[in-house]
Amino acid sequence: MKLLQTSDLHLGISLMNIPMIGYQKKFCKSLLAAAETVDAVVIAGDVFDTSVASAEAVRCWSELVSGLCLEKKRPVIVCAGNHDGAARLSSCGDLLKASGLYIAGSFEDAFSPVVIGDTAFYVMPYFNPYAAAAFLGCKPSVGEVMRTAAKRILDQADKSKRNILVAHCFAAGGKASESDISARASESVGGADRVPLSVFDGFSYAALGHLHRAQTLISPAGTAVRYSGTPLPYSFSEAEQEKTFTIFDTETLEISEIPVPEEYRLRTIEDTYENILEIAGNDSSRQDLMRIIVTDRYGGDGVYMKLKELYPNLLRFYGKSLSGGEGNELEAREASELDIISLAKRYAEEKRGGAPDEDEMKWLSEAFSELERSV
């Protein structure tokens, strides 16, 4: 059989105050079309971006799985990720199974396989290592829990079938992206929650979620450990990545990809202010989601507002640093939340290297009040 693997949908996410749900609805249509060519769909966690998802995100998810299970008649195997509210996502589990939707929200679910044709899926959601360790009777580390759980699964598994592990975790050797916030946080504490690749030995395949870059790792015994990555780019570090659905053939053990149509572009321009203005004059793609780095002007020098006029979807802006080092970042969200006095104060700080004094702040306030009365 052929499986379509995806993960980290993050339905309901916003990029610096720009909602992505419209783009995500289009992606879901692409997934429904791709499902025509496979026998089952695996979604390896982080269906939603928050544990209490918005009504619009829930509606998008409902339409997606209804289309897959009821219209396309494709079974869908899902594990809860660290962004999901596992109990909410997996509620009404028995009812959903009757429609072909299998959601693992509890760690204990991993030991009861979902059997479809020649394949047994062991579905392990993101877990609390202390609670999981208490259940297994092992040390409370992510690696030890995964090692103990994998052994228990394989000891009971039917070796005549393809045994696939579906999980949401950080496998050792995996590469994180800018938008992998929780994964990058684990790197800063020494990668204590990394799962050794040897854990996956004995499985026919491991379909993982959690890392946003598509990549294949190989366990010591030769098991393919595959991250499908996000179906849409959620950070500028992913701008050059081709987003795909992963296809796994259980008969040949071959991995292939189906490109996901590009619904929007994340783009970076780095140049002098005058050159960027010249580029903008002939830029036919000014609606792209933008990051602009100005190399010769300070951020508060009226530069941001002019560039925002030219590029309405300017998400991140960097101006020249006072120290001569890397530029100071000003996100579109931050700029939009600053009042006129705060923007003027920031301008003075960046131009002079120090904040206005009390008298200067009073003069600024009086000047802007007078300006407002005259408008």
With contact defined as beta carbons under 8 Å apart, do 230 and 5 qualify? no
- Segment 183-226, tens digit of pLDDT: 555 554 445 588 999 999 999 999 999 999 999 999 999 999 99
Q: Are residues 324 and 186 in the same domain?
A: no
With contact defined as beta carbons under 8 Å apart, do 191 and 249 qualify? no
Domain span at residue 276 reads 266-374
Distance CA 103, CA 42 (A): 10
Q: Which of 224, 259, 294 marks a domain boundary?
A: 259
Write down the residue that tokens 């228990």 correspond to: 152
With contact defined as beta carbons under 8 Å apart, do 268 and 252 qualify? no
CATH number at 240 reads 3.60.21.10
191 CB-near residues (< 8 Å, 6+ apart):
170, 172
Two structure tokens written together for 45: 């966690």
- Segment 262-312, tens digit of pLDDT: 889 999 999 999 999 999 999 999 999 999 999 988 776 678 889 999 999
| DSSP conformation class of 275 | H
- What's the domain count of the chain? 2
Name the nearest CA neighbour of 61 among 9, 5, 109, 19: 9
- Segment 312-370, tens digit of pLDDT: 999 988 887 544 444 555 554 455 455 566 666 665 655 444 567 777 777 777 776 77
At 199, phi and psi to the nearest 5?
-60, -30
With contact defined as beta carbons under 8 Å apart, do 328 and 319 qualify? yes
Q: Are residues 125 and 164 in the same domain?
A: yes
Q: Are residues 306 and 251 in the same domain?
A: no
Distance CA 98, CA 75 (A): 10
Q: Are residues 224 and 275 in the same domain?
A: no
Its pTM stands at 0.82
What angle is formed at CA 84 by the lines to CA 121 and CA 106, rounded to 5 degrees? 45
